[in-house]
Each structure stands twice: as C-alpha cells, then as structure tokens.
Amino acid sequence: MKTMVMGSINIDYVYRVARFTRPGVTVPASALEKGWGGKGLNQSVAIRSGGADVLLAGCVGREDSAELLAFLREKGVDAHLVSRTDKPTGHTIIQVNEAGENSMLIFGGANRAVDGELIGRALDELAPGDLLVMQNEISNMPLLLTRARAKGVRMILNVSPVEGAPDSLPLETADLFFLNEHEAKAVARTDADVEGALLRRYPAAAFVITYGAKGAAVVAAGVRRLWADAHRVRAVDTTGAGDTFLGYYVSRMAKGASNEECLRYATQAAALCVQRPGAAPSIPLLEEVERALAR
C-alpha cells in the first residue's frame, strides 16, 4: 500500500514577537527563522518520521528546487512528483508570541500551479486502497478530489484553510477528515453537537478532531468514540503541531495499526512538536515518540 501527500510546499519565515501585531501597530520581532514548511511538506515529513514511506506531489519555484529536493532527500521523502514552475515558491509569514501561539499569512505562489497534468501523473502512481493525503492550500482541489474518488484511493482530507471549503469542495468524496475545532464547526455548519452534525452530513466518513490543549477525538458512524487527552507540556511554538499529529496518525494507519494506537502516537508526537520552534524542523523522530510513550 502506497502513501502519497499532494499538497503545499512553502518557505516559512517565523518571527518571534511579544504579541501579535494589530492594525496601525508596529511590533518588533526578537528573532527570525527561515525554513521549509507548507502543510503538504510538513505532513509528508511527519509521515516519514513516523516510519512509513511517503511520496510528496506538489509545486515549487525553480530557484528553490535544488535546496528543497536536498531537504526532502535528507528527510527520506520521495519527491519525484514535485514539479518545478516559473512561479515563486509559496511562503508563509508566521508570528509566534510568548505563549507559543501563532498567526499566519500565506502566499500561494507555486502552490497555485498544481494542474490537471500533475494531478493525473500523481494519481497514475496510486492503486485502489492506497492512501492519499490532501489539504486545501493548492489549486484545482475539486478536480483532485473528484479524480481521486474515481481512482478508488482512500482519501484523507485536512480541510485547511477551511474558509469557503464547505461550499466549493466536494467534501462528500473524502473517507477520513482531519479537523481542528474551528474547522469542524465550519464543515458541520453548526456550533451545536458538532460531531453529531458531521456524521449526519457525511455518514460514510470518519473524523479525527483536535481540540487544542484538551485532546483529540475519533468519531465514525456506528463505532465507539475514541478520545485522547492532550499531554500537558509547555508550548514553545504550536506551528506544525496539527501537521505532525496528522502525519503520525497516517503513518500508523499505513502500518495497519488500530485507531487507538494511531491516536496515541499522534497525540504524543504533537506534544513533542510544540516544545520546539519551527514547523518541519520541530517534527520528532519515531524513536523519540516511542521513548516518550514508554515513559
């Protein structure tokens, strides 16, 4: 069984600030860090760090392609489906405050160059039952979801960013959703009984929902709800925590693990991630997660 991520590739610019800036207010940054990010890249690195082989499909600007490919080779991610374009590489401006919270501004760049040709080449490498992880940071998402459904792959969708997605995307095609609390309310189209509303709206799907510092749940029609408390740690930077959680969950799925084990590994990996700065650089290795679980 293959695991593929088709998604965004960004350069992250992370600014350390005492507080987030507001309109008309200039806030000094105490530090600047630059590194690779984007939900597609982060999730592929997390899947590989969790012990599963993974392919990454997406687009990067030509001027950055050599550096990116070297990074992915170092991380063990198969990048032969990363396409070079004349558009600038996507980038993210990230503010991180003293509580470790983040605020982001995203420029799509090359991520908006994902077209039908790349989607076709990527899906040609998958067979029914393979895992395909997607987000909402690239162009032609409706086409990708429709073609992937016709291919018969197991579709894992992280609906982020969620704004506009319930109206613009064929969400009924997905098999498994990864949502934070805000995204879950948007997809359910209600603030009340959100999990129940999701199951009524998409009865054939399962949902992994993260509730920040409280924990995470796995819900699906006709099965027992699973819950894992979040580990109590001092957060340095929450950037990439959701991608780490998803990546470790999917890496365990690819290994045939139970939902309980997937949730346990994902929760522990995210707890380690938030204690480190950055996105991709903060993703823990499998041996670190297993040592922490053993404790």
> In a 3-state reduction of DSSP, which class is residue 93?
strand
Bond before 161 cis per omega within 30 degrees: yes
Percent of the chain with pLDDT over 90: 87
| d(C-alpha 273, C-alpha 198), whole Å | 28
The angle at the Cα of 233, spanning 104 to 251, to the nearest 5 degrees, equals: 70
Question: Within 13 Å of residue 123, how many CA atoms lie on the same side as its CB?
Answer: 21
Q: What is the pLDDT of residues 87-97, one digit of tens each?
A: 999 998 999 89
Strand arrangement, sheet containing 90-96:
29-37, 10-17, 90-96, 102-107
Q: Identify whether the C-beta of residue 151 lies closer than 8 Å to the C-beta of residue 123.
A: yes
Cα–Cα nearest to 230, from 285, 269, 185, 286: 269
pLDDT tens track, the chain, 295 positions = 999 999 999 999 989 999 999 999 999 999 998 889 999 999 999 999 999 999 999 999 999 999 999 999 999 999 999 999 999 999 989 998 988 888 988 899 999 999 999 999 999 999 999 999 999 999 999 999 999 999 999 999 999 999 999 999 999 999 999 999 999 999 999 999 999 999 999 999 999 999 998 999 999 999 999 999 999 898 888 888 999 999 999 999 999 999 999 999 999 999 999 998 877 888 999 999 999 999 8
Contact 279, 239 (CB under 8 A): yes
Report the C-alpha gap between 2 and 174 in whole angstroms.
17
Q: Hey, where are the domains in the chain?
A: 3-8+37-88+110-294
In the DSSP assignment, the letter for residue 24 is T
* CATH of span 3-8+37-88+110-294: 3.40.1190.20
State the chain's mean pLDDT as an integer.
95
Q: What are 158's two structure tokens?
A: 């992280």
What is the crossing angle of helices 194-201 and 181-188, to 10°? 50
Closest among 28, 106, 31 to 277, alpha carbons compared: 31
Counting beta carbons within 10 angstroms of the beta carbon of residue 225, is it exposed (0 to 12), middle (13 to 18) or buried (19 or more)? exposed
Report pTM: 0.93
pLDDT at 237: 80
Of 229, 245, 232, nearest to 282 (Cα)?
Answer: 245
Residue 281 confidence (pLDDT): 82
Which of these, 184, 206, 195, lies nearest to 259 by C-alpha position? Answer: 206
Residue at 150: amino acid letter:
A
